[in-house]
Structure 1
Amino acid sequence: MYIFMTGGTGFLGGRLAKELIERGHRICMLARTPEKVNAQFTAEERKSIDVLPGDLTARALGADERFIDSHKGKVDLFLHMAALVKFDEELREELFETNLTGTREALRLAKLIDAPRFFHVSTAYTLGAKEIGGETLYDVSQSFLNPYEESKAHAEQAVWQSRDELDVSIFRPAIIVGDSKTGEADSKFTMYGYMRALELFKRKLERRGHSVESIRLIGSASGTSNLVPVDYVADVLLAAIEHAKAGTIYNVTNDSPPRNEMMLDYMKESLSFPHLTITETPTDTLSSVEQSFNDMVKVFNPYLNRNITFHDENTKQLLKDAGFSKLRLDQQSLRRIVNAYYQTKH
């Protein structure tokens, strides 16, 4: 199969690209800097990779007429994975440009080259402020917790509106973390971005000579973190190559997400930062040090105050059809994933 990919040099994309090549597929990969492809893939793997030098926000991703003519009718699947994953309100314009405009241009190119199928990798958090996530399209007029979620919800709408021209499927991973078996990770965002903020604050306290017995983090101790290891998400997408249904949405989520309190305990142990506690204490009772700490991690707050139930019946059926196992994430795997934070720095 000949597969066009965006995001092929990213955390999940790189992992998936290697799996696809190993299974005998050929890839055409969008790359703003083709040198990154050379650095990330072996010489043997690169024999199965064609590169389109381009940009996610350029018209048709930067493909010229020559590329379009030479690839028309030859691409079996268009796999759109590239996205900007940041939560800051001041990045709203950049998030919409990358995540929404980029998706529209990916759809444009898919149609120009007559690709029959289009997979869009979104996020489980397009559900906005809801506490129950279904495998259905969400209304973009609802409230969202940050511009990242909102931009991805609009991108899903753009994909859905193309379902009469393409066989579209949407995949919504929750919080992607390291490999459940090895702990391998190279992500600098999501949970590892949060751990980096914790470590930076710890160093700040040490430099200033602060002696503290406890620092309260505002959040829900009984809330859960819906973590999905990168190998599981890759398995879902591999299963989808042969078994995904057109016009279908797949929540790639965790039926038994760990409690925030337990995950914080693992992080405290890994970072040697025992002073942290998670509490629903009103912010006006915080000390100045605690307030400073909570300000540092405020973009992550929406993911520390909830206990969302995701329905993933479509994904379970997909895995069953392909003969893949369901997600199993035990405490040993969770500890391994948390400890992978230090691997991301070397």
Structure 2
Amino acid sequence: MNIFMTGATGFLGGRLAKELIARGHRLLVLARSPQKVNNAFTPRERESIEVLAGDLTSPLLGADETFIERHHGNVALVLHMAALVKFDEALRDELFETNLTGTKQALELAKALGCPRFFHVSTAYTLGAQEVGHETLYTNQTFHNPYEESKAHAERAVWETRDDLDVSIFRPAIIVGDSKTGEADSKFTMYGYMRALEVFKRRLERRAAPSGPIRLVGSETGTSNLVPVDYVADVLLAAIEHARPSTIYNVTNDTPPRNADMLEFMKEALAFPHLKITDTPTSSLSSVEEMFNEMVKVFNPYLDRDIRFTDANTKQLLADAGFQPLDLNVRSLKRIVDAYYDTK
């Protein structure tokens, strides 16, 4: 099968692209330069790859008439995975340009190529401030940051084309490292928070060591809906043969770990025992605690809730393909955290 991919050199995309090649598929991949693909794949793998040098914000992602004529009618699936994952309000315009405009251009390219199927990789957090996530298109939700909002608008753009394309939307929660090896990408999602812990620890080390706990404002009973990269890749692999059109798949965790437990793993790996999640009012924080909470404030919406997701569509998809459901145990979680810090 010929598959057009965006995001093929990213953490999840690279993992999936290699598996697709191993299964005999040929890939057309969007990249700003061929060198980026050369760095991400072996010479043997590159024999199954053609690069479209372009950009998410360019018309048709940068595809010209020659590219479209050469591949028209020969692409079975467009797999749109590329996105900007930042939470800062100051990046609102860039987030919408990349995540919404990029999705619209990917859809237009799929139509220009005469491609019948379109997979959109979104995020579970398009639910915004809601506490339960269903496998439906959300409407009228409020958002915590422009990333959530841009991805929700992108989902709606995809959904609106379902009469022209067989569209399926996949919503991973917080993607972390490999559940078996711990292999992680230090630039990805939860690892931004882990980097903040390291930076904060170094700042404290330049001062006097703290004499007591440092409080992180959040819910002590809140959870982190973590999904390992290998599980998300398995869902997308299963989808190649078994996904249904006009269907949304929550790629989430039925038994997410408590934030307090995850913080314990991180503290142990970093040898930084002073941190504690608490519901303490911010007015009672010390100056050091205020500094730390300011550093990680973009993560607050994901530290003070216990969101529950339904994922019946995803479970059925995995069963149809003969894949196992997610089992992210304590050993795997510790391995993922330890492997990240081991690579620093």
Shorter chain as denominator, the TM-score bin is over 0.9
2:241 is aligned to: 242
Distance 1:182 1:225 in 2: 20
Contact 1:188 1:344 in 2 (8 A): no
Distance 2:118 2:160 in 1: 12
1:158 is aligned to: 157
Distance 2:318 2:235 in 1: 7
* Number of aligned residue pairs: 344
CA displacement at 1:99 relative to structure 2: 0.2
Distance 2:62 2:325 in 1: 38
- Encode CA deviations 1:66-95: one digit per residue, 9 max, x unaligned: 001111100000000000001011111100
Contact 1:2 1:74 in 2 (8 A): yes
Letter of the 1:114 counterpart:
G
CA displacement at 1:33 relative to structure 2: 2.1
- Encode CA deviations 1:293-329: one digit per residue, 9 max, x unaligned: 0000000000000001100000000000000000001
Contact 1:21 1:27 in 2 (8 A): yes
Distance 2:336 2:210 in 1: 30
2:54 is aligned to: 54
- Encode CA deviations 1:12-42: one digit per residue, 9 max, x unaligned: 0000000000001000000012201001100
2:325 is aligned to: 326
Letter of the 1:135 counterpart:
E
The change in CA–CA distance for 1:85 and 1:223 in structure 2 (over 3 A counts) is same
Contact 1:185 1:343 in 2 (8 A): no
Runs of 4 or more above 4 Å deviation: none
Distance 2:332 2:174 in 1: 15
Residues 269-284 of structure 1: matches in 2 within 5 Å? Answer: 269-284=268-283
Which consecutive residues of structure 2, in runs of 5 or more, have no partner in the other structure? none
Secondary structure (helix, strand or coil) at the match of 2:169 reads: strand
Q: CA RMSD for the aligned pairs?
A: 0.8
The yes-or-no answer on 1:94 pairing with 2:85 is no
CA displacement at 1:221 relative to structure 2: 1.2
Secondary structure (helix, strand or coil) at the match of 1:169 reads: strand
1:197 is aligned to: 196
1:107 is aligned to: 107
Letter of the 1:278 counterpart:
I
Secondary structure (helix, strand or coil) at the match of 2:241 reads: helix
Contact 1:218 1:280 in 2 (8 A): yes
Contact 1:183 1:337 in 2 (8 A): yes
Contact 1:227 1:253 in 2 (8 A): yes
TM-score (norm 2): 0.99
- Encode CA deviations 1:228-278: one digit per residue, 9 max, x unaligned: 000000000000000000000000000000001100000000111100000
Letter of the 1:185 counterpart:
A
Contact 2:124 2:252 in 1 (8 A): yes
Distance 1:187 1:63 in 2: 31
Contact 2:270 2:341 in 1 (8 A): no
Letter of the 2:42 counterpart:
T
The yes-or-no answer on 1:233 pairing with 2:232 is yes
Secondary structure (helix, strand or coil) at the match of 2:276 reads: strand
1:267 is aligned to: 266
The yes-or-no answer on 1:184 pairing with 2:183 is yes
Secondary structure (helix, strand or coil) at the match of 2:84 reads: coil
Contact 2:73 2:114 in 1 (8 A): yes
Distance 1:195 1:340 in 2: 12
Contact 1:186 1:343 in 2 (8 A): no
Contact 1:186 1:344 in 2 (8 A): no
CA displacement at 1:343 relative to structure 2: 4.8
Which consecutive residues of structure 1, in runs of 5 or more, have no partner in the other structure? none
CA displacement at 1:185 relative to structure 2: 1.1
